[in-house]
Amino acid sequence: MPSLLRPTLATTVLVASALVVSGCAAPAASTPAASAEGAYPVSVTDCGDEVQIAKRPERVLTVGTAAVELLDAAGASSAITARSAEFGAALPATLAAPPSDDLILDPADPTTEAIVGATPDLVFGYGLFTADPAQVKAAGIPVLTVQGECGHDASTASEKVDLDTITDDVRRLGTVFGTETTADAAADALDARVAAATRSSSGESAAWVYYFSSEDPISAYGGAGIPEAVLSGAGLTNVYADQSDAYLTVSAESLLAAQPSWLVLTYGLYGESAQQAREKLLAEPGISDLDAVKAGRIIVVGADTSSPSPAAVTGLEQIAAGTNG
């Protein structure tokens, strides 16, 4: 799923399920409760809280495309029985075992009733906005968050993350699903790709922009979130890095004031093609006055490359290659 800023959801305080136990803040990496692969129960950290998984999840409802991609990398996509909140964005063609589109429960954010009705034994995604997380947990359904999205639901402050967050999440899912061997191998391969694509600072700047829908104004990624980490890894300075939020509504005027050396443009967040995204951007009043536009320094990347998933590594490779000619 595409990531974007949404309003805070006020939740009702309910008795939490015995399956979910909150603890003190801890790093995002998983903490297995047992050493043997596939042994349960296991305890993992989730945005600073401890979550106990009593048995291997067999019915997972995903929220957003990043959740699907991470589960696939961890060798656990076969457990997906319902999908939601992908908003028409396509899954990467590189998935090892893509789930069927027939599993899409709701293309938008699922409600509490829809989640409970799907009878999952785990919800995994970028956060719950239409649904009440407390009610979902009280129904006995553990909820795990894509670790690069901690704070996305505005219940906590957005956190600065790096590309290690993605591979740590893959390893964490290996613990949850008892697929450590597959997950660790995938994470090691991603780490190697990141190391190969990472560039030292070029002294050039960039703005990474997108449209969440055909009606929405131009937006950009700020100083928190994976896009910031990707730009930095590609040797570029994000012109909106001083903004603590991950997702920003911007304007042609602010872009003109910043004059980034490069524009990175996302396409596909609502099903639009790369050409349609480019045409929409170039139709913005004032955009043609940007030096980057005049010089043709626009790199167009798929929607999934801005999410905290393995596709972000592909985005790093594409941006690093594009800016190095």
Confidence of residue 244 (pLDDT cuts 50, 70, 90): confident
In the predicted model, is pLDDT for residue 224 greater than 60? yes
Q: Is the peptide bond before 41 cis (omega within 30 degrees of 0)?
A: yes
Per-residue pLDDT, 90: 86
Q: Name the percent of the chain lying above pLDDT 70.
A: 86
- Which of 9-18, 29-38, 101-110, 117-126 bottoms out in mean pLDDT, i.e. has the lowest? 9-18
Q: Determine the average pLDDT of the residues in 26-34.
A: 38
Segment 74-93 shows an average pLDDT of: 94
CA 190, CA 170: separation in Å to the nearest integer? 10
pLDDT the model gives residue 325: 65
Residue 171: what pLDDT? 98
Mean per-residue pLDDT for 65-86? 97
Please tell me the predicted confidence (pLDDT) of residue 247.
Answer: 86
What pLDDT, on a 0 to 100 scale, did the predictor assign at position 270? 87
What mean pLDDT comes out for the span 258-264? Answer: 98
Amino acid letter for position 237 = T
Q: Would you say residue 64 has pLDDT above 60?
A: yes
Asked if the model's pLDDT at residue 313 lies above 50, the reply is yes
60-80: average pLDDT: 98
Q: What is the pLDDT of residue 46?
A: 95
Task: Determine the pLDDT at residue 18.
Answer: 33
pLDDT (0 to 100) of residue 159:
62
Output the CA torsion sign for 110, 112, 117, 119: positive
At residue 153, the pLDDT reads 59
d(CA 28, CA 14) in angstroms, rounded, equals 25
Domains and CATH numbers, the chain: 42-194 (3.40.50.1980), 198-323 (3.40.50.1980)
Assign 115 a pLDDT band (cuts: 50, 70, 90): very high
pLDDT grade, residue 89 (50/70/90)? Answer: confident
- What's the mean per-residue pLDDT of the chain? 87
What average pLDDT does the segment 96-107 reach?
97
pTM of the model: 0.84
Longest dimension (CA), the chain: 60
In terms of phi and psi (left: phi > 0; alpha: psi -120 to 50; beta: otherwise), the region of 245 is beta
CA nearest to 151, candidates 127, 169, 170: 127
Give the model's pLDDT for residue 158: 54
